[in-house]
Amino acid sequence: MEKREKFSSRIGFIFITAGCAIGLGNVWRFPFIVGKYGGGAFVLLYLLFLVILGIPVMTMELAVGRAGRGSSVESFRRLEAKGQKWHWFGYPFIWGNYILMMFYTTVTGWMMAYVFKMLFSADSKALFEDTANTFTHMLSSPGAMFFWMVLATFIGFLVVRLGLKNGVEKITKRMMAGLFVIMLILAVRILTLPGALEGVYFYLKPDFSKMMAYGWQEVVFAALGQAFFTLSIGMSAIAIFGSYIDKSHRLGGEALSITLLDTLVALLAGLIVVPAAFVFKVPLDAGPSLVFITLPKIFAKMPLGFLWGALFFLFMSFAALSTVIAVFENIVAFWMDTYHWKRDKAVYVNMLLLIVLSVPCILGFNRWSAFQPLGEGTNILDLEDLLISNTVLPLGSLVYIFFATAKKGWGWKGFLKEANTGEGIKFPEGIRVYLRYVMPVIILYIFLQGYIGVFKK
């Protein structure tokens, strides 16, 4: 077997995998979902899902990657018994990675566009006051969105082309360090504004009545989707990084560290956005446009607002790009492992492919806006997001759960041995029955309820 590339350090592995997890889900989606579903109550539910569902599935993915030493399809193929077809699941996982990037690169492009706008736009009235117009104007300009999407895709593949150690590891590590520094500066700036503590109070105080107003099923569905999405579990994006590490550390502990870093960034992003909205009395339930329409108004009221704005969107761009790079690495590794393509070829072909595949999401906001796949006001991005967050990720997680716990798969013994090889926190042996029988029921139940909810609306 060909020698597989390895990370140069354990910290590199943890930062890159956390970089895959930390993304738009943390900095863009989390604050507005929390705002919508009642602050602390939702946060509690989300944390619960991370612990009871997220960490076990992440450990399983890492184990499949590390023991199978391959990308999506190959690692299953090496671990399954002769004649079994588990590796077939590897293909839809990779399609999932493509679908995710079909909208993720566009939103990453928005973030980068806003860094540029903050720094160079001469029209500060448009940027800081007519924020809704500025955002709508961007959404109605397919050319501009295309430019930024291509730039995001290009940067992502450029880093992946440099290789695992010299590109992905080196650059993502720096970007994550930058992200933490910027985030801390922003948090201190916002939290020291008069009145910010009221926002912190709302953010952390559970308000179950607001949650109930939406119906508990909807809220639980949202929390579950968010938990899977934020950790990047269920479609082999995490497994690939397991395939690049040695056996020196137990995987439960690694999954815990990655989840903690991811949660820290989500909670801090909320601590920046929610109190800021409170101080400047802007509605929190603005949804996805919150950071583009609402936040610039806040920066406008701060001295050196354009600089804070630029830093904020740079923070968003780093988070998004670290995920784009990680997912591109998974896609490229798939072609290298399964079809023995050279890294360069896989990079160039997929760069072109993804640029083309990202076009529908862009057109969904303008030329194709009449197509509203999930009901009035929805667009192609919503459809792609539903396919990933609420479909591929929960169902894909079920695949990992069954594979790691069922006799007809890799099996509990194989999984446990891999997960517990090395030093560190041990994955508990006694929870097999929970993982095998209870967890799938929870996931399936919430998954079905959620779908019924979406189509009943």
Cβ pair 409, 400 in contact under 8 A: no
Residues in region 146-205 near ligand PFF by CB under 6 A: none
Total binding residues toward ligand PFF, as defined by CB under 6 A: 14
Q: How far is the CB of 267 from ligand PFF (least distance, A)?
A: 13
- Nearer Cβ to ligand PFF (134/323): 323
Q: How far is the CB of 382 from ligand PFF (least distance, A)?
A: 16
Per-residue x/- mask for ligand PFF, residues 348 to 387, rule CB under 6 A? Answer: ----------------------------------------
Amino acid at 450: G
370 class by beta-carbon count within 10 Å (0-12 exposed, 13-18 middle, 19+ buried): exposed
Q: What torsion, rounded to 10 degrees, do the Cα atoms 292, 293, 294, 300 define?
A: 90
Q: Pattern 95-134, binding to ligand PFF, x per CB under 6 A?
A: -----x----------------------------------
User: Binding to ligand PFF by residue 405, rule CB under 6 A?
Assistant: no
Instruction: Tell me the residue number closest to ligand PFF, measured at CB.
Output: 25
Asked whether the beta carbons of 87 and 310 are under 8 A apart, the reply is: no
Instruction: Assess contact for 58 and 259: CB atoms under 8 A.
Output: yes
In angstroms, the first-to-last Cα distance of the chain is 52
Token look-up 């784009």 returns 324
SS3 state at 122: coil
Q: 26 or 131: whose CB is closer to ligand PFF?
A: 26
Which amino acid belongs to residue 212? M
Taking CA atoms, 376 is separated from 262, 382, 453, in Å, by 33, 11, 15
The answer to whether 57 touches 65, Cβ cutoff 8 Å, is: no
Residue 23 engages ligand PFF in binding (rule: CB under 6 A) = yes
Cα–Cα distance for residue pair 372/447, rounded to 1 Å: 22
Q: Which of residues 313-332 bind ligand PFF (CB under 6 A)?
A: 323, 327
Mask for 271-310, x = binds ligand PFF (CB under 6 A): ----------------------------------------
Binding to ligand PFF (CB under 6 A): which residues in 199-238?
229-230, 232, 235, 237
Only one of the segments 18-26, 289-297, 401-409, 416-424 lies at the binding site for ligand PFF (rule: CB under 6 A); that segment is 18-26
**C-beta of 21 vs 219, nearer to ligand PFF:** 21
Report the alpha-carbon distance of residue 227 to residue 397 in Å, rounded.
12
Nearer to ligand PFF, 97 or 134 (CB): 97
Positions that interact with ligand PFF (CB under 6 A): 20-21, 23-26, 100, 229-230, 232, 235, 237, 323, 327
